[in-house]
Amino acid sequence: MSNSFTRTTKQRNAVIEVLRDHKGFISAQDIHNFLKNSASTVGLSTVYRTMTALTTSNDVDVMLREDGEALYRLCSSVHHHHLVCRDCGTTIEIQADYVEAWAKDVSQAHGFSDIDHTVEIVGICKKCKK
Amino acid sequence: MSNSFTRTTKQRNAVIEVLRDHKGFISAQDIHNFLKNSASTVGLSTVYRTMTALTTSNDVDVMLREDGEALYRLCSSVHHHHLVCRDCGTTIEIQADYVEAWAKDVSQAHGFSDIDHTVEIVGICKKCKK
DNA sequence: TTGCTAATGACAACCATTGTCAATAAGGAA
DNA sequence: TTCCTTATTGACAATGGTTGTCATTAGCAA
Ligand SMILES: [Zn+2]
Ligand SMILES: [Zn+2]
Ligand SMILES: [Zn+2]
Ligand SMILES: [Zn+2]
């Protein structure tokens, strides 16, 4: 947790708490709704501001749902990708050195530089499979 | 072009024409704006409807920009991924059997089924590199 | 305790996307 | 060619996620 806040607030702690307790990716709107039905309510603006900060500090990963809504998740800081269950949201962090190397090779082969890549796998996990 | 339209219209042809002439990914809004300054103007709703149909028929690929806006591109129908220039939008279709196999293996190893995956590489192409 | 100011939250503004529906036009039938 | 059915269009409203505004609140260092 290397975020760049200069002060500690209960609102931010509440948001981070929700992220900690949630196993998969979750939207800002859902974090806000969840806290609405709890002891510590947090303004929607604050949720968004917190997510932006946590994203910048690399404490959370962002994933875009098909409709474009942003989903967030507390993640380890080492580079990795995700295997996500389409139903329950359960997320497994995956690493694959070969894929990293492949991305670099393909890019160089075509003369591209300053590479960034997206690799996500979505499917149905064992539990959700009937 | 195996779309499911039952009639041919000049509006749809105009939209497809724009996609043909555009080398990279382009948003519905931009297609609409481009046609606004041309002979054949097309309503925004029609642009969206056309993109939805072309996406369903697999004639165009969809890619989400960081801010969540959808970008479209006429693509070959064989499964592939993209190498995109962050600056000029130039797009190269890439295929990698190993990555396909890897996605399948990782999924199975974790008990996931009905897999779908996203693999995109963005960077700066040779021309745009200073 | 006090003072500075980061942080909050209610609210408005923004903007891509979808829904609505009366008017239009593609194209098969006659 | 003309007529008719209805797929398609487009202007406009509505939706919903996200960002901007700004007066008020509350960390925290002195
Ligand atoms: Zn599941
Ligand atoms: Zn990677
Ligand atoms: Zn493609
Ligand atoms: Zn370029």
The predicted pLDDT at position A49 comes to: 98
- Sign of the CA dihedral running B106, B112, B113, B116: negative
**To 5 degrees, how large is the angle CA B5–CA B22–CA B93?**
90
- Distance between alpha carbon A129 and the CA centroid of its chain, in Å? 24
Measure, in angstroms, how far nucleotide D17 C1' is from residue A123 CA.
25
Distance from CA of A121 to the nearest CA of B (A): 4
Average the pLDDT over B73-86 and give the result.
Answer: 95
Summarised one tens digit per residue, pLDDT across range A38-63 is 989 999 999 999 999 999 999 999 99
Are residues B105 and A115 in contact, defined by beta-carbon separation less than 8 angstroms? no
Q: pLDDT over 70 for what percent of chain A?
A: 100
Average the pLDDT over A84-105 and give the result.
Answer: 94
Are residues A86 and A123 in contact, defined by beta-carbon separation less than 8 angstroms? yes
DSSP 8-class letter at A86: T
Strands B70-74 and B60-64, bridge-based pairing? antiparallel
Distances in Å between the alpha carbon of B60 and those of A86, B3, B76, B83, B113? 23, 10, 8, 16, 26
Give A67 Cα–ligand 4 centroid separation in angstroms: 27
Q: Is the pLDDT of residue A25 over 90?
A: yes
Q: Which domains does chain B possess?
A: 10-74 (1.10.10.10), 81-129 (3.30.1490.190)
Whether chain A has a CB inside 8 Å of the CB on B118: the answer is yes
Q: Is the pLDDT of residue A96 over 90?
A: yes
- Sign of the CA dihedral running B44, B45, B46, B51: positive
Chain A residue nearest residue B94, CA to CA: A106
Summarised one tens digit per residue, pLDDT across range B19-46 is 999 999 999 999 999 999 899 999 999 9
**Which nucleotide shows the minimum CA-to-C1' distance to residue A68?**
D17
Q: Which residue is nearest to nucleotide D18 (CA to C1')?
A: A48
Query: Residue B119: which of A107, A111, A119 has the nearest Cβ?
Result: A119
- Sign of the CA dihedral running B20, B38, B34, B124: positive
Measure, in angstroms, how far nucleotide D11 C1' is from residue B43 CA.
9
Which string of DSSP letters, residue by residue, matches B103-115?
HHHHHHHTT-EEE
The predicted pLDDT at position A88 comes to: 86
Residue A21's identity, in one-letter code, is D
Which string of DSSP letters, residue by residue, matches B24-89?
S-EEHHHHHHHHHTSSS---HHHHHHHHHHHHHTTSEEEEE-TTS-EEEEE--SS--EEEEETTT-
Q: Is the pLDDT of residue B130 over 80?
A: no
